[in-house]
Structure 1
């Protein structure tokens, strides 16, 4: 769970990869393939804004919202009426780390993160996909489409609306 949350934070902030990128929104499809070639597919939308704000809205196969606002992480899971609140601190400089990603060629970069190697595919300044192996050796690929860059996003987009009747778990 720790690495999943950490990677969610990383993705939320990955868009500091390009120095002139201040906001990013896109549709995403995330596939997870295990060692038996079983595939799980997730899809949704992401919004991200410098310095450290993001909202991942998972739509399929289940609804889930992940909000990152500076030091706070909030995960809302409507199907189980649960919210997880966590302080993540500001100890990881995601923008700085990805700023130093190593260029392989004009479309491929790699970045090391917590003993994992991320493969980042770009075209021009657009991030097309991110691939890595998670802590269970599952291959995770996130493909972005309909990317919109540097369009103003109101900070209110990154504030979670927590239903009053949901169970709240503090981690």
Structure 2
């Protein structure tokens, strides 16, 4: 059980780094100064020839708000606000609040992003190589291998730029029945 929790915790850290990288890459490829990014996503985690498929929606708003809303295989929301992440699991009625400190220097991400070819960018952060595929200047996919040798591939679809209307979507308002864990 502890190993599963550690794998999921490590995955969440990588997702957070990927999210920050996606935000910065959007600026790096001059996407008309994106202020918000919305999309559906499919995330595939491959580990020792086994695959886990996740689906959901992502919302990003400059300068530092993000929400990953997982719908499959189980509902889970990951809020990112400034230097805090909140992982909310409705079925467990709990939320884990964590300070984000590890390898999230946005300037470093910008400086390390290198154009490989017309549609491919790459950066190495904390020993992890992130490959970002763009189409018409819009990020469509992110692929990386985490510290546990899991391959993570995220595909974005139905992308909307600069159309986010509900800024309250980034507010986490737990009910009194939710256990809050500070990590």
Structure 1 runs not aligned, ≥5 long: none
Query: How many residue pairs align between the two structures?
Result: 170
Whether 1:8 aligns to 2:15 is: yes
Q: Structure 1 or 2: larger helix share?
A: 2
TM-superposed CA distance for 1:115, in Å, is 0.6
**Deviation at residue 124 of structure 1 after TM alignment:** 1.5
Deviation at 1:5, TM superposition (A): 3.3
1:121 aligns with 2:133: yes
C-alpha root-mean-square deviation of aligned residues, in Å? Answer: 1.9
CA distance in 2, matches of 1:91, 1:130: 18
Under a length normalisation based on structure 1, what TM-score does the superposition of the two structures give? 0.90
Q: Does 1:46 align with 2:58?
A: yes
Determine which of 122, 135, 141 is the counterpart of 2:147. 135
Question: Which moved further from structure 2: 89-98 or 140-149?
Answer: 89-98
Displacement, 1:90?
Answer: 9.2
Change (3 A) 1:152 1:45: closer
Matched, 1:23 2:36: yes
Q: Structure 2: where are the runs of 5+ without partners?
A: 1-5, 28-32
CA distance in 2, matches of 1:168, 1:54: 20
With the length of structure 2 as denominator, give the TM-score of the two structures: 0.85
Closer, same or farther: CA 104–143 of 1 in aligned 2, 3 Å = same
- Cα-to-partner distance string for 1:108-131 (whole Å, 9 max, x where unaligned): 110111110001100112111000
Q: How does 1:105-116 map to 2 (within 5 A)?
A: 105-116=117-128
User: How far did residue 153 of structure 1 move?
Assistant: 3.9
Q: Distance in 2 between matches of 1:6 and 1:94?
A: 15
Paired residues of 2:17 and 2:103 also in contact (CA < 8 A): no
Deviates more, 1:86-95 or 1:45-54: 86-95
